[in-house]
Structure 1
Amino acid sequence: MNRRILTVFTANIALASPAFAEADPLTDIIVTGQRDKATTDEIESNKEIVSTPDAASLVARAPGAALIDNGGLSGQVQYRGLFGDRILVRVNGQRFSSGGPNLMDPPLHYAPMALVDRIELDRGISPVRKGPGLGGGVNAILKQAEFSDSASMQPQADLTAGYRSGDNSYLTGGLVSLSSERVKLGVIASYEKGDDLQYPGGIIASSSFERLNYGAHAGLKVGDGSLTLSYRRQETDPTGNPPFPMDIQYFNTDFLSLAFEGKLSDNLYLEVEAGHVAVRHLMDNFSLRQGPASPMNLRATFADADSSTASTSLRIGTPDRHVRLGADVEVMDKDVRITNPVNTSFFLTSLNNISGSRIGGFVESRLGFGPIEAEIGARLDHHRMEAGSPLLGSAVPMGPRVLASAFAASDRSWSDDTIDIAARFWSDMGSFKPRLSLARKTRVANAIERFSWLPTGASGGLADGNIYVGDLNLKNEKAWIAEIGFDYQDSRFYARPTLFYRRVDDFIQGVPYDHTPEIIDSPVEMVANMNGDPTPLRFGNVDAEIYGADLDFGWNISGPLNLDGTASYVRAKRRDIDDNIYRIAPPNARVALSWQENTWYLGAELQAFADQNNVSATNDEQPSNGYLLAGLFGHVELTPGLTLDASVENLLNKNYTEHLAGYNRVDGSDVALGARLPGVGRSAFIRIRWTGF
């Protein structure tokens, strides 16, 4: 009997092979066939056939997750109804601030699929040791050199190339390294380029992309620990963002990190990290798309973001029974400058000299109460943020000048403390393992939500077509979270259902600017009306609740024949008024049937998405229709170390729209202005990977 079951849940086509006979589904949680810690799943990229360049697509097929598609390289992860900076997303464990005021560069923008080794997905909630965050956490681990068993330097390589027909795109990249038992040296690089996306009704204009990534890292064994230094640069060249009023012209971003981890003694384990990320960004409304008819409406926006981080933690005890103490700090600086490229006298800083910091500490314990295992932790953070006075050119009209003067005269500094608590409990009862998670989590308003004095389309990635303005008096979000479920597994079947509930006080979202939204009777509404929206929204505090259920399962039907799938349901609504939270994934399910032999497998997948009628009236959200998609996938090991993967997504070439895809803002496209963006048509994908030396 074949005791390996194929799990399928990637972008239209994906697969993995968990070893059921060996896995513990709670302390060694299986999503893609890899052992895991008690609080995380691991998704290995080499076991997934992901056709898109966006690593968010890889995460989005996990139970409870979905993709917020804001462009080919700007996807955000939604997890159990939360997205944006409510999800703790990192790359190589490094936190950093987005450079784009519309979150065109969410963290996974900096994780090209050719360089991703694996994704660590916090199951439900993130442990407090990983930092503050309202929802779960995602950490993209890039490929890196590993220490070898040899005293001499040995070469290693992990190289990938791929092609996708749906946008005539290609990718290439990987890792080349030298390592010994004490020293490792590695170089990574990748390049991707794609044309506009094709769908059954035509072409989605301004959806092309281009991205270059390169870097180097070195490691040294120091006693019972290791010291690692890494540098990486990413250059995102012109890339379209149809749901936004502008497209990416460039992101030039540098990553630097230094880390040590290792044993100080049998019961002491130390981790220390320091890092810096510098983002330089330009976006405009005319280079990739049809520009405004009047030159006075041409816009080019420059944005910078610098993030410095440092953290340390000390684990006292064994991996299964310990107390962990730690502290971390983040320092952030941001600037956003709007210009007209044909008029040097027109410029204004919608965010000027934004500075912020967070200093935090935590205590966390792994312990047991008879048959019950537990992980319990708490953290305290002090936050500070301040904004400079706006700068304006002489050609800026009177309306924005009035708003800038009012903002300059206001109290533009803010500080507060937050407390997060998280507790997870589980018990090993053989094939059945119940689990329970309880938490109090917080989130503070970001710079866009608090300091946006100028009414613009910058919404932190919401992409709902509304014009927004910030609020200096925003309160912190506070979520009370409960999750309950179980993991069942025997030699032929597994299932992992979860029920969850989040009650969020002071949830931050767009609300009508004032009590007379149909009457233009304030300077903010006058300026917003000049920019095309007479009913702007203000970021405000509301009360919300989010609840639902998700499941993944697998069944070894007979020998090499396997059935696998996922199902997700989430309901998110306001508690203060009768309305829904914006941009929530509809109920969906995926089922795959596969035939697996030792060196190859073939399979087919069906994806079903229900109608989404629970939409936000406040955000003018449109309902969407359900749809069913079919796909094929396959894998073959050509020689040891050389593999070939292939897939066909949207096999029947169905014309459909994803509810989370956003609305078209590009004039002259085959997609109508204001219409929800369609999904890709029938598209073939092929990938070859070589690991050797």
Structure 2
Amino acid sequence: MTTFYAGLLSPCALACAVALALTGTAHADDNADKNTHTLTPVVVTATMQDSPLIVVTDPKQPRQPVPASDGADFLKSIPGFSTIRKGGSNGDPLLRGMSGSRLNILVDGGMIAGGCPSRMDPPTAYIAPQLYDRVTLIKGPETVLYGPGNSAGVVLFDRNFERYTQPTLSGDASLLFGSAGRSDQNLDLRAGDSTGYIGISTNHTHSQDYKDGDGNRVHSQYDRWNADATIGWTPSDQTRIELTVGKGNGDAAYAFSRMDGVQFLRESTALKWTQEHLTTHWEKLEVQAYTNYADHVMDNYTLRTPDPASMMPMAMAADVDRRTSGGRATGTWRWGDALELQAGVDGSVSVHTHRAGGPPGSMMGYYKDQPRMRDARMQDIGIFAETRWSFAQSQRLVTGVRVDRVQTRGYTLEDMAGMEHMESMSGVDAMAMMPAQTAADRGDTLPSGFVRYESDLSRSPTTFYAGMGHVERFPDYWELFGQHVEGTLDSFRALQPERTTQWDIGMQYHGDRVKAWVSAYAGVVNDFILMHYPMTSMGVDYASNVQARIAGGEAGANYDFTSHWKADVTVSYAWGENLTENRPLPQMPPFEARWGLTYEATQWSIGALWRLATAQHRVADDEGNIVGQDLGPSAGFGVFSFNGAYRIDRRFTLSAGIDNLFNKTYAEHVNAAAASLAGYVNTTRVNEPGRTLWIKLDAKL
């Protein structure tokens, strides 16, 4: 298997494979009907909400700005999302200003979690969005089907496999080239008949350091590859058994850290069984088991040279890994069109280890020769039920309830008992009293639930909805054991689960020429987990619970002026208040608006995107989340981008664009602090790329 992946995913081999696929596509198209009506080519600049609190988008479509190599940069094109930039890749996504385990990320129904204590490898770092068929966002605590603690929302990256009725070969391929040496190759091939199917999806992406609008180089190069293979057995229309295996790896330079990510090894396996139409009312049974393994290496010598004047003058490396295994069983029952029930059980267990050292021959020893030390084990098992009841014509009540049992064990906690008298001891006695490491367990039972009313207004194509949800979230790995917490036995026991109660209200309008939506929320968070970053030399980072309020929303509209001219606009805003300390919640993005204008002909289109973000003065210095902290007020900015697309024939589409057309120098408010790196210009925040040109060729078999 290792040989297979290595041969398949070398950049040259993958480029050749994509080229062959494109050639085969062109040959197949020679016999196509030249008069076949072609679809209008469009570059996505604004993703709209499809139904109450749900956004569904196709990650294979061209979009502007051009996404980077991972899931986070893809998600920031959805209103309400922002990304904490760390370099050219592997940013951390936030939805409505909330990050980490408040936003659950599922890949083909399974959870994957990174291992870096400072979040160099968030879950989205292991996701190549172009290899999936559908990305679904469910906002807020308005579903109980997808794991515990999802106070901000849930994101689902899914592939679509169905039973073929006849022998079929299909596929997608794309090539992308852009500024800063950007080069992507993507290939997704599928084949099957009524008995079963196979699928192979693979990608490679590469970029050199980009430059900001002032021409300053940002430490941001990356190189990544992914490959997944799927085999399915479909003996009947009612039965499907599917096995998926995958692997990926790469590296990424970081402008925010004294280390770079030099390995992002992912190994995934999942087995699914789906049985449909079991009885009159029992419509479907879905059973899944998975394991996702992430092995992440950080060092300061592979992608940079150690700086003798820095706090890390020697060549150093750290290796962390995390294996997450789990499963779920879900049943779906229907009683006509009036009532639908989904109920089941899910669970996961995650073990984290670490080791450190240096390159071969270093004084600290080669890091790969060091034993792995287990520091944390986290597990959860939950039961859930969600119903959709159409109690009257055009009126529905959607409800859900969930209960989770969460348990966590820390293996390397510092026991500070007796340490309060250290300052009165001599140096020798104080060294003898250094805190001992100990293991400890804690657990809790956490309920969640929601209720939402939906109504389709009879005299207009409008849907109104209002709901309330409550979710309780156990502290995650980074809040209990991460780089920015104390890591003591007392802090491990003291940090309480976070409890969010949120109200959501909104409206959808789908007319012939106008489509519009609005989604607003307000909530209270008891025991909000806040990260503290004291700026004094003697300060210690720590986590605490505070009382908080949150509010905000998103809105958007599409308007067809004529059959050719179309316009769209989206806006988003997030607000948070720390009631305990009487100051704003940190890491809240400012108000943002996007305006798009597109001219669409039968075979070509041109479009423009204008993105505006206001200044943000509501900050909480020295406080933040598990990724970063507030760095003071930020200025507003506006960025203009331009794109065009041409459908060569019914299989080929060529798109191109210029992001940040006027080469503006700017940085997002929600950001990581830039590190002082030798050979680079030091900035407070990591600046965004300057003018970026790109061209992409998409093909369908």
Band the TM-score falls in, shorter-chain normalisation: 0.7 to 0.9
Contact 1:102–1:458 under 8 Å retained in 2: no
Q: Secondary structure at the match of 1:408?
A: strand
1:252 has 2:252 as partner = no
Q: Secondary structure at the match of 2:435?
A: helix
Q: Residue by residue, what CA displacement relative to the aligned partner does 1:274-326 show, whole Å, maximum 9, x if unpaired?
A: 00011111101233234231776543111010010110011121576222220
Change (3 A) 1:436 1:567: same
Q: What amino acid sits opposite 1:94 in the alignment?
A: G
TM-score scaled by structure 2? 0.84
1:38-49 equivalent positions in 2, closer than 5 A? 40-49=54-63
Cα separation, 2, equivalents of 1:419 and 1:671 = 49
**What is residue 135 of structure 2 aligned with on the other side?**
119
Contact 1:161–1:688 under 8 Å retained in 2: yes
Q: Residue by residue, what CA displacement relative to the aligned partner does 1:598-625 show, whole Å, maximum 9, x if unpaired?
A: 2221111111110011111233522110
Cα separation, 1, equivalents of 2:484 and 2:316 = 12
Cα separation, 2, equivalents of 1:562 and 1:540 = 48
Change (3 A) 1:250 1:387: same
Contact 1:671–1:677 under 8 Å retained in 2: no
Q: What amino acid sits opposite 1:683 in the alignment?
A: T
Cα separation, 2, equivalents of 1:357 and 1:592 = 45
Q: What amino acid sits opposite 1:442 in the alignment?
A: E
- Partner residue of 2:697 out of 680, 683, 688: 688
**What is residue 442 of structure 1 aligned with on the other side?**
472
Contact 1:122–1:138 under 8 Å retained in 2: yes
1:637-656 equivalent positions in 2, closer than 5 A? 637-656=647-666
**What is residue 364 of structure 1 aligned with on the other side?**
386
Q: Residue by residue, what CA displacement relative to the aligned partner does 1:249-296 show, whole Å, maximum 9, x if unpaired?
A: 101110100011231234211111100011111101233234231776
Contact 2:79–2:572 under 8 Å retained in 1: yes
1:186-205 equivalent positions in 2, closer than 5 A? 186-205=199-218
Change (3 A) 1:686 1:493: same
TM-score scaled by structure 1? 0.84
Deviation at 1:239, TM superposition (A): 0.9
Cα separation, 1, equivalents of 2:412 and 2:664 = 51
**What is residue 416 of structure 1 aligned with on the other side?**
444
Contact 1:81–1:546 under 8 Å retained in 2: no
Q: Which runs of 5+ in 2 are unaligned?
A: 1-38, 415-426, 624-629
Q: CA RMSD in A?
A: 2.9
Change (3 A) 1:658 1:219: same
Q: What amino acid sits opposite 1:688 in the alignment?
A: L
**What is residue 343 of structure 2 aligned with on the other side?**
325
1:182-261 equivalent positions in 2, closer than 5 A? 182-223=195-236, 224-236=238-250, 238-261=251-274
Q: What amino acid sits opposite 1:164 in the alignment?
A: G
Q: What amino acid sits opposite 2:517 in the alignment?
A: R
Contact 1:114–1:160 under 8 Å retained in 2: no
Contact 2:503–2:521 under 8 Å retained in 1: yes
Cα separation, 1, equivalents of 2:586 and 2:304 = 27
Cα separation, 2, equivalents of 1:459 and 1:613 = 29
Cα separation, 2, equivalents of 1:46 and 1:404 = 58
Q: Residue by residue, what CA displacement relative to the aligned partner does 1:464-494 show, whole Å, maximum 9, x if unpaired?
A: xxxxx96432100000100111112321112
1:312 has 2:329 as partner = yes
1:417-496 equivalent positions in 2, closer than 5 A? 417-429=445-457, 430-452=460-482, 456=483, 471-496=492-517
**What is residue 135 of structure 1 aligned with on the other side?**
152
Q: What amino acid sits opposite 1:388 in the alignment?
A: Y
Contact 1:99–1:305 under 8 Å retained in 2: yes
Deviation at 1:229, TM superposition (A): 0.5
Cα separation, 1, equivalents of 2:504 and 2:247 = 39
1:564 has 2:592 as partner = no
Cα separation, 2, equivalents of 1:79 and 1:138 = 10
Change (3 A) 1:654 1:296: closer
Deviation at 1:511, TM superposition (A): 3.3
Cα separation, 1, equivalents of 2:497 and 2:646 = 51
Deviation at 1:657, TM superposition (A): 1.5
**What is residue 343 of structure 1 aligned with on the other side?**
363
Q: Secondary structure at the match of 1:412?
A: strand
Cα separation, 2, equivalents of 1:501 and 1:613 = 21
**Structure 1 residue ranges (4+ consecutive) displaced by more than 6 angstroms after TM superposition:** 4-8, 345-351, 401-404
Q: Which runs of 5+ in 1 are unaligned?
A: 17-29, 392-397, 461-468, 519-532
Contact 1:64–1:550 under 8 Å retained in 2: yes
Deviation at 1:390, TM superposition (A): 7.0
Deviation at 1:222, TM superposition (A): 4.0
Q: Secondary structure at the match of 2:685?
A: coil
**What is residue 411 of structure 2 aligned with on the other side?**
388
Deviation at 1:667, TM superposition (A): 1.1
1:632 has 2:642 as partner = yes
Cα separation, 2, equivalents of 1:403 and 1:352 = 25
**What is residue 376 of structure 1 aligned with on the other side?**
399
1:293 has 2:308 as partner = yes
Q: What amino acid sits opposite 2:82 in the alignment?
A: A
Q: Secondary structure at the match of 1:114?
A: helix
Q: What amino acid sits opposite 2:380 in the alignment?
A: R
Aligned residues: 626
Q: Secondary structure at the match of 1:628?
A: strand
Deviation at 1:242, TM superposition (A): 1.4
1:63 has 2:79 as partner = yes
- Partner residue of 1:355 out of 371, 377, 400: 377
- Partner residue of 2:118 out of 102, 113, 128: 102
